[in-house]
Amino acid sequence: MESNGRRVVVTGLGVVCPLGLDIPSMWKALVAGESGVDYITSFDASAFDTRFAAEVKGFDPTAYVDRKQARHMDKFSQFAVAASLQAMESARLPMRNGYSEEMGVIVGNSVCGLVSVHEQYRVLAESGPKRVSPTLAPTMTGDAPAVQTSLILGTKGVNYSPSSACSSGSDAIGQAYDMIRQGNTRIIAAGGTEAPITPLVLAAFGNIRALSTRNDDPKGACRPFDAERDGFVFGEGAAIMILEDIDFALNRGAPILAEIIGYANTSDSFHLTKPSPNGEGATRAVHNALKKANISADEIGYINAHGTATRLNDITETKVIKNVFGSRAYKIPISGVKSMLGHMLGAAGSIEALITVLAMKQGIVPPTINLTHPDPECDLDYTPNKARQANIKTAISNSFGFGGHNSVLIFREFQE
């Protein structure tokens, strides 16, 4: 099932996340095994069962846009715009560069602009309907990050925001890859963004017992594949990568960071929150991505795991890896970076894909921190607590979301 389409390369990266406001600071903290989790500061969480999250710290949207523009954006759009501008600079793409009609924007998210919704609901309750801001309508919608990014970058190609729960950012990148591969466009800024740390969302996920309640140890709370894990930790932020047709990138002298060679997504059609038994749906997604990439499972040298630190999902993902790789599963280094970043929901897949590219480029496997009591049912090489060097030629990034979404991306070291 080899693709005969165009080759697609990654030329730029940008990030805003709990470990840093740019690629160098994020990568340094990640490799050092630092945790971005701490007690919530954006609102009083003292009445909640979970009182911590991985918040973005020190972010100022006016470093990227003027105050008026910033006021007309929810936080999830501000994050997306900032990461996109970083990615453009990384790719050496000037603004309004003559490629506008060929350049697109695809930015996934899951819960939309709930920071603005929460603020304006308070206004409604306290002051009545006439006081609700008229800017709420365009700032809270799911497409707002892509729209705002397109406006700032001046792009006139494809422009939308896919929503597939925790797979949203991966699907944005995968759909961008497919469009370029099929020759429909030549360049797309793609990724995910999310700002879910609000009282209502914290209460909702807490009440389905999905969140860790380790309030005495926030930095040790997110424990993928550990026997003492008790749920995931909210994170926020955005990650964007610039994808380009290879000929277009080479002709303009772009810095090529990696090649994307495979993408697949499947649906479990099983349960609203639980994965299908034995990871059948996710296993198919990995197999399909490998077929699309026209490579064998033996070529994979690194896996960036979905790794939520929830009981069932970590066990299921371990089964998926064994289903695909057999006995070789034990020899492949794996990272569970949510242990440091928290779960960024719609942005999780995009930041993990970005980290996969950096792991290949830098020759370093990031660690899974807080893995001190390995679960006997999670017995693979999750790179516990300390990064290590590795020569990675081809790598997979997994995203498996609520609702049975399974999305898999495959990246390869670039060679002309």
Active site members = 166, 306, 343
- Distance in angstroms between the alpha carbons of the first and the last residue of the chain: 22
Give the angle 319-322-325 at the CA atoms, nearest 5°. Answer: 150
> In angstroms, rounded to a whole number, what is the distance separating the alpha carbons of residues 4 and 249?
19
Strand partners, 38: 53
- Tokens found for residue 1: 């099932």
> Three-state SS for 4?
coil
- Tokens found for residue 59: 């972010």
DSSP codes, 333-381: -EE-THHHH-B-GGGHHHHHHHHHHHHHHHTEE--BTT--SB-TT--S-
Does residue 310 contact residue 233 with C-beta atoms inside 8 Å? no
Nearest by Cα to 146 from 90, 236, 66, 84:
84
CA distances in angstroms from 161 to 76, 198, 370, listed in the order given = 12, 21, 33
Does residue 242 contact residue 91 with C-beta atoms inside 8 Å? yes
> In angstroms, rounded to a whole number, what is the distance separating the alpha carbons of residues 308 and 266?
19
> In angstroms, rounded to a whole number, what is the distance separating the alpha carbons of residues 64 and 83?
10
Classify the C-alpha dihedral 163-291-359-38 as positive or negative.
Answer: positive
**Which amino acid type is present at position 302?**
Y
Eight-state DSSP code of residue 276: P
- Tokens found for residue 318: 């371990």
